[in-house]
């Protein structure tokens, strides 16, 4: 770790939630409060498409045809790892260490910030929560999550429900939460975010 021990290190906060929970919306609200957010999923995609060593390892494991001239063939890769736990674990073994390294470098380049947030869909499943100070879990009713993903990804309900079943349940995630945000279109989310923000600020004074 390249952090300067003479300085107060940032409070590292994890932000997670199941597909369609709206965690990216919550991340944007935190960003509007001048808190930097590291989006693990976006960075993982960048690494998969640009890091030569990662590309070579993925080709060796899954075949060269998982890449096109434009980058990873996301549909083909999804078909290979969806419903195949071993294949998914193999992919994660390749990608997660590189995302972790990139995240550490990101922390080092922002070590004067008071709070930094790591947004990740599988924050807890990957064990990335263990290196963080606080965890925020975003939750929403399943029917609402399905509706959001169908609209966003232009996919059918059955496929979305399969993806939800394949993920950790909200009940399991909440066991790891220091804070919970209910993104159910009934409870206003901005007041919830502001409340958590104030609590986080209070912990570093």
The structure's pTM equals 0.91
In a domain? residue 67? yes
- The reported pLDDT for the residue numbered 75 is 85
CA distance 50 to 99: 13
Instruction: Report yes or no on 5 lying in a domain.
Output: no
Model pLDDT for residues 64-116, shown as the tens digit of each residue? 999 999 999 988 998 898 778 899 899 999 999 999 999 999 999 999 999 99
pLDDT at res. 79: 86
The SS3 call for residue 2 is coil
Q: What is the pLDDT of residues 11-67, one digit of tens each?
A: 999 999 999 999 999 999 999 999 999 999 999 999 999 999 999 999 999 999 999
Which runs of E-coded beta strand occur in the chain?
A: 11-17, 36-39, 67-68, 71-72, 115-119, 134-139, 179-182
> Which one is predicted more confidently, 183 or 167?
183
Return d(Cα 184, Cα 25) in angstroms, integer.
Answer: 13
Q: Are the C-beta atoms of residues 115 and 158 closer than 8 Å to each other? A: no
How confident is the model over 120-140, as a mean pLDDT? 95
Spatial separation of the C-alpha atoms in residues 58 and 92, rounded to whole Å: 10
Per the domain annotation, does 38 fall within a domain?
A: yes
Which CATH number covers residue 150?
3.40.50.300
Give the count of domains, the chain. 1
Gap between the Cα atoms of 38 and 24, Å rounded? 11
6 pLDDT more than 60: no
Q: Is residue 4 assigned to a domain?
A: no
Q: Which of 27-31, 82-86, 171-175, 179-183 has the lowest mean pLDDT?
A: 82-86
The number of beta carbons lying within 10 Å of the beta carbon of residue 6 is 5
Is 85 domain-assigned? yes
Q: What is the pLDDT of residue 7?
A: 62
* pLDDT for the residue numbered 85: 84
Alpha-carbon gap, residue 196 to 73, rounded angstroms: 39
pLDDT at residue 1 tops 70: no
Does 104 fall in a domain? yes
C-beta separation of 139 from 183 below 8 A: yes
Which residue segment(s) compose the domain that 24 sits in?
11-203
Query: Under the phi-then-psi rule, with left for phi > 0, alpha for psi from -120 to 50, and beta for the rest, what region is 65?
Result: alpha
H runs (alpha helix) in 110-188: 142-153, 157-166, 170-174
pLDDT digits (tens, 9 = 90+) for 148-158: 999 998 889 99
> Residue with structure tokens 């004074």?
205
Question: Residue 3 above 90 pLDDT?
Answer: no
Q: Is residue 55 in a domain? A: yes
Residue 205 above 70 pLDDT? no
**Residue 33 covered by a domain:** yes
Q: Which two tokens stand for residue 152?
A: 């966003």
């Amino acid at each position: 770790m390249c952090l300067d021990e003479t300085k107060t290190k940032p409070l590292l906060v994890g932000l997670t939630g199941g597909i369609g929970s709206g965690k990216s919306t919550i991340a944007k609200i935190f960003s509007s409060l001048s808190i930097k957010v590291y989006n693990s999923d976006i960075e993982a995609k960048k690494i998969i498409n640009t890091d030569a060593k990662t590309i070579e390892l993925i080709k060796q494991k899954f075949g060269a045809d998982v890449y096109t001239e434009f980058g990873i063939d996301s549909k083909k890769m999804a078909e290979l790892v969806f419903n195949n736990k071993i294949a998914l674990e193999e992919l994660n073994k390749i990608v997660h260490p590189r995302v972790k390294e990139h995240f550490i470098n990101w922390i080092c380049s922002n070590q004067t910030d008071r709070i930094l947030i790591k947004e990740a869909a599988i924050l807890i499943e990957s064990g990335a929560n263990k290196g963080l100070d606080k965890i925020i879990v975003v939750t929403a009713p399943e029917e609402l999550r399905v509706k959001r993903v169908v609209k966003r990804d232009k996919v059918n309900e059955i496929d979305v429900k399969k993806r939800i079943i394949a993920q950790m349940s909200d009940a399991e995630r909440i066991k790891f939460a220091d804070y919970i945000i209910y993104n159910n279109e009934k409870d206003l989310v901005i007041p919830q975010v502001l409340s958590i923000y104030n609590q986080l600020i209070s912990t570093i004074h």
